[in-house]
Each structure stands twice: as structure tokens, then as C-alpha cells.
Amino acid sequence: MVTAKIAPSLLSGDFSRLAEECERMARLGADYLHMDVMDGHFVPNLTLGAPIIKSLRPHTKAFLDCHLMVSRPEQWVDDFAAAGADLFCFHHEATADAAALIARIHAAGMKAGMAIKPATPVDVVYEFAPALDQVLIMTVEPGFGGQAFMPECMAKVSALRARFPDLDIQVDGGLAPDNIEVAARAGANVIVAGSSIFNAPSPAAVIELFRKAVTDAQPVA
């Protein structure tokens, strides 16, 4: 049985106070801190990189879940390991040798995750899943926050959960109180959310709502 892990996306935080935002989210109950790394090439946006992860690491003990929306993710493994990333999640679409990349991530001391875009079929993940610590099913097109959740992606979550009942399955994009139950019932247990947490009157209440939805959706032992 998997456990709920709630991962606020710092892309929606105040970048002028990023260390404080990390600590605030951890204090309010976040399990992971989700770091959206974009290179302006794989996706049409440019965000933070390894130097920012390195600058944040001394200020938080939280689990840093780094989602690399970049071309050639191989070139960044060592930098993110040195910076203190806990999980390095690359896109299947961005590498020609996923097995080698997973092995390299593990050798560098990080957990390995694989992400797929909404148009990518889930079966590309199956051969790699036994070696992965997490699979990320994107529920929006990667690149920008604030997009609408794509419920059609839940079929991929369900298919993945049926094959790998103990795998951490993450969803990212448009997750909010009005759709979290759909994602949880499909089998997602690692929930990334940006604006729905950071813009809420009570971020802690939203984090707890997400956690309860995932926990309630778990099969009875």
C-alpha cells in the first residue's frame, strides 16, 4: 500500500523569499517540495536550476523533488546531486537511454523518477518502472503553472497502478480540491499542486484535504 505525499510546487511561491516559502510549506504539512526545472528548450519557459537548489539546501531539511523539464537531462545529474536534490525526475521524451540515466541517478545518490507528457502513452514506462522510485503522469502540458487539469490522463494513472500497486505515482498540473478525488481514485498518491495551495486562504487545509483524499482512496488491507 502506498502512502499520500503532498508536494507543493514552488513555481507558485514567492521567488524573492524562496527559502522562507520552503520552510512555510514544510511547516504546513508538505511531504515533498516540488521544484520545477525548465530550460527554455524542452519547454517554452525558463525557471530555476541547480544553483538555486544548492542555495536552498542549507535552509531546509525537506525532501527536494526536482522535476527536470529539460533537454539532455543526463548533463545535469551530477550538478543536482551535488546541489542536494533528493529526487531527480526526467522526461522519457528527453532521453535516448532511460535505463542508463536511471542507473546514473541512483549511483549519484538520488531517487529516480520518470515523467511523461499528456500525449505520451503510459506503456513506455512499463519496462522501466521496476527500477524507478516514482513515475510522474503530467496532467497538463509541461511548461507553465496555472493550467487546467486534464482528466483524460487519469486512464494512464489507473493502468500504471494496476500493474505496479506499490509504485509512487505522481500527478502534476491543475490539481485542486474539485478534482483531487478523481486523481486519488485513479491511483495517484503523490500530489503536486501550485496555485491551489499557495493561493488558498489556508494552504494547510488544502494539503490536508489532498492527503485525506489519497488516504481514503487506498484499498482496504
Cell digits of residue 70? 529539460
Query: Do 134 and 170 contact (CB within 8 A), yes or no?
Result: yes
Catalytic residue among 133, 166, 172, 216: 172
Domains and CATH numbers, the chain: 5-217 (3.20.20.70)
- What per-residue confidence (pLDDT) applies to 9? 97
- What per-residue confidence (pLDDT) applies to 40? 86
- What per-residue confidence (pLDDT) applies to 206? 98
DSSP of the chain, one letter per residue?
----EEEEBGGGS-GGGHHHHHHHHHHTT-SEEEEEEEBSSSSS-B---HHHHHHHGGG--SEEEEEEE-S-GGGGHHHHHHHT-SEEEEEGGG-S-HHHHHHHHHHTT-EEEEEE-TTS-GGGTTTTGGG-SEEEEESS-TT-SSPPP-GGGHHHHHHHHHH-TTSEEEEESS--TTTHHHHHHHT--EEEESHHHHTSS-HHHHHHHHHHHHHHHSPP-
Question: Distance between CA 158 and CA 27 in Å, rounded?
Answer: 31
- What per-residue confidence (pLDDT) applies to 1? 81
| Amino acid, res. 31 | D
Determine whether 36 is an active site residue.
Answer: yes
Catalytic residue among 36, 65, 86, 133: 36
Question: Distance between CA 190 and CA 184 in Å, rounded?
Answer: 9
- What per-residue confidence (pLDDT) applies to 202? 98
- Which residues of the chain register pLDDT less than 70? 220-221
Of the candidates 135, 138, 139, the one whose C-alpha atom is nearest the C-alpha of residue 150 is 139
pTM: 0.96
Determine whether 78 is an active site residue.
Answer: no
Query: Do 180 and 215 contact (CB within 8 A), yes or no?
Result: no
